[in-house]
Amino acid sequence: MKYKTFIFDLDGTLLNTLDDLAESVNYAMKQCGFPKRTLDEIRRFVGNGVKKLIERALPEGTDEAEFNKVLGEFKEHYSQNSRNKTAPYEGIMELLHTLKDNGCNLAIVSNKVDFAVKDLRDEFFSDVIDVAIGDSDAIRTKPEPDMVYKAIDELGTDRDSCVYIGDSDVDIITAKNSGMDCISVSWGFRSRFELENCGAKMIADKPEDILKFVKYKRLL
């Protein structure tokens, strides 16, 4: 079996978090006197962590004090709002249980703030995903490979047995920087067209397609 470990992005890959993220972003924007953003805009802003999300949402030229105020409002609101509408994509739970039943190691690596990553893992995936790592001051975020390597260490596996799965250009670059294959997914925050333009080689249009890639490579 070539792949023993499957490392997943979270937002747009395992969970549809867009509505909750959008509500928290727009709450923070309104509280601080800035115009709201559309759902499609926020979809395009997600992928590089919460600071970059807020930076992209704010008008160009916003000063640091205002940025920090909006960021603080977002974090406070999202800490209470991260599970209102968020849910696994259709077919995700079946995929994860199939992989787990075949003896695979599963982990989450996300640029979302660490407390939210762990809370969401505990809420939705506690029985199948053992390791969840998010953004903190202690580690560099994706596309740097640090969080991926930390997940591998915590799982007690090796890099040669890993495949990375995500929905964005950031994930494609993260996999490359980590020295592992990447399966991109088109049901998340980026389209198949966008993924292909970013160099995606394997693209799954629904969770069960990941198993087709796996079976094609004689991994299960």
Domain assignment of residue 43, given as a range: 18-81
Cα separation, 202 vs 172, in Å, equals 10
The DSSP result for 96-113, as a single string, is HHHHHHTT-EEEEEEEEE
Instruction: Using the 3D structure, point to which of 59, 81, 103 is the last residue of a domain.
Output: 81
Strands 181-185 and 202-204: parallel
* Same domain, yes or no: 206 and 127: yes
Q: What is the pLDDT of residues 10-30, one digit of tens each?
A: 999 999 999 999 999 999 999
Does residue 94 share a domain with residue 66?
no
Same-domain pairing of 152 and 205: yes
131 plus 208 within the same structural domain: yes
Q: pTM for the complete prediction? A: 0.90
Q: What are phi and psi of 39, to 5 degrees?
A: -60, -40
> What integer pLDDT is reported at residue 1 of this predicted model?
45
Indicate the burial class of 111 (C-beta count within 10 angstroms; 0-12, 13-18, 19 or more). Answer: buried
Count Cβ neighbours within 10 Å for each residue of 69-79 and write b for 16 or more, e otherwise. Answer: bbbebbbebbe
Find the CATH number of the domain harbouring 119: 3.40.50.1000
For 42-50, what is the mean pLDDT? 90
Are residues 53 and 162 located together in one domain of the fold? Answer: no
pLDDT above 80: residue 49:
yes
Residue 126 has pLDDT above 80, yes or no: yes
Angle at 59 between CA 53 and CA 62, to 5 degrees: 95
Structure letter (DSSP) for residue 160: G
Separation CA 49–CA 129 (nearest Å): 21
Banded model confidence at residue 215, pLDDT cuts 50, 70, 90: low
23 and 90 fall within a common domain: no
